[in-house]
Amino acid sequence: MADYSYDAFGRENPCDNCPAPCCQVQLHTYQAPATFKDLDMILYRLQFPETELVICRTGEWYLLHWKTCSRFQKGTYSCSLQGTSEKPQVCSFFNQYDCWFKQNFVVDGQTSVIRVDQNRFGQWIKGIRLDESGKVMALPDFDEMREMVAEILISPVFSILAPGTKPHSGA
């Protein structure tokens, strides 16, 4: 673990050397399934390319679409709207020092989310129990889910970029 002074930490851009998953995904809140119909809807949605379900250790569920922002510049991993009034406030006021995207899509050993695609769904669904009316009686808990899908690879997988890889000026 690095040891920084206050001044040194303040000069660092936390987005440096980050592959910017925040600019390459759309997350939509999603409710945990309560019925067979809900599970079937998840299966339906996962049939679409570049779509995943994200389940958080804290209980939140999201539908994820791998869609790159039209303003994202892949060559520099930066935003073409940086420093302009056109940049959406959700981007401008994003806390780069506590980046949920970096913590869950870039850092090795991520433990706070599970990504479920079509392949992982087939394994995960085996652990779900329904009653005679089709209501979900039991979902595997977070650690059980993680274990169930651990051997099934999912992509894309992001890595921290080598220092100097990009002239980043903010996400």
The stretches of 93-141 forming alpha helices (DSSP H) are 100-105, 118-124
Question: Which residue range forms the structural domain that includes residue 137?
Answer: 15-149
Answer yes or no: are the C-beta atoms of 25 and 64 closer than 8 Å.
yes
Q: Using omega within 30 degrees of 0 as the cis cutoff, is the peptide bond preceding 88 cis? A: no
Residue 165 lies inside a defined structural domain of this protein: no
Residue 99 lies inside a defined structural domain of this protein: yes
Share of the chain above pLDDT 70, in %: 88
Rounded distance between C-alpha atoms, residue 69 and residue 141, angstroms: 33
3-state secondary structure of 144: helix
pLDDT in tens, 27-75: 999 999 999 999 999 999 999 999 999 999 999 999 999 999 999 998 8
Q: Using the 8-state DSSP alphabet, how is residue 170 labeled? A: -
Whose structure tokens read 């040891």?
A: 3
Rounded distance between C-alpha atoms, residue 139 and residue 129, angstroms: 7
- Give the pTM: 0.82
User: How many domains are contained in the chain?
Assistant: 1
pLDDT in tens, the chain (171 residues): 567 677 766 666 777 778 889 999 999 999 999 999 999 999 999 999 999 999 999 999 999 999 999 999 988 888 898 888 888 888 878 788 888 888 888 866 667 999 999 999 999 999 999 999 999 999 999 999 999 999 999 888 888 777 666 544 444
The stretches of 15-58 forming alpha helices (DSSP H) are 36-45
Residue 92 lies inside a defined structural domain of this protein: yes
